[in-house]
Amino acid sequence: MIIEVDFNSDEAIYVQLCNQIILGIATSVIREGDSLPSVRQLADTIGVNMHTVNKAYSVLKREGYISLDKRRGAVIAIDADKLEQLEEMRRELRIVLARGCCKNISRREVHDLVDEIFDEYGQPGMTDGR
């Protein structure tokens, strides 16, 4: 998995790392049980401080995307608490949809966009909501 950091972005580097790892999981670039690079390796590879990578891994662990194993390091281990995730998505989508409504984006355009993005993740059995 290639991680790219935009050092000119307003988004914190650790947040960028978290988001890219989550996208990697969603697109099956990395899968359950895969090991992530060590904190030192990833920090050296992308040219950031080890504390930044450590913070990203801590957030991912807290959010249930990875576990920390003494022998294998950071390992993809998805904690599937679906109801909690749906509530978080609801909170985030309220703001995103409100912004879209203010810009006259239609329901159909939103649905098409959601379908397009969801199709990028290509999870078998997940395209029809079941």
Same domain, 67 and 100: no
- 54 within a domain of the structure (yes/no): yes
Q: Is residue 72 part of a domain?
A: yes
pLDDT the model gives residue 55:
98
Specify whether 30 is located in the same domain as 69: yes
Domain count, the chain: 2
Burial class (CB in 10 A: 0-12, 13-18, 19+), 7: exposed
Give a yes or no: residue 66 inside a domain: yes
**Residue 47: Cβ-neighbour burial (10 angstroms; 0-12, 13-18, 19+):** exposed
What is the pTM (predicted TM-score) of this model?
A: 0.72
Residue 81 banded pLDDT, cuts 50, 70, 90: confident
Closest C-alpha to 55, from 43, 71, 44, 72: 43
Same domain membership, residue 93 and residue 42: no
Residue 117 lies in a domain: yes
Per-residue pLDDT tens for 55-69? Answer: 999 999 999 899 988
The verdict on 108 and 64 lying in the same domain is no
Range of the domain at 63: 13-76
CA distance 92 to 10: 19
Residue at 76: amino acid letter: I
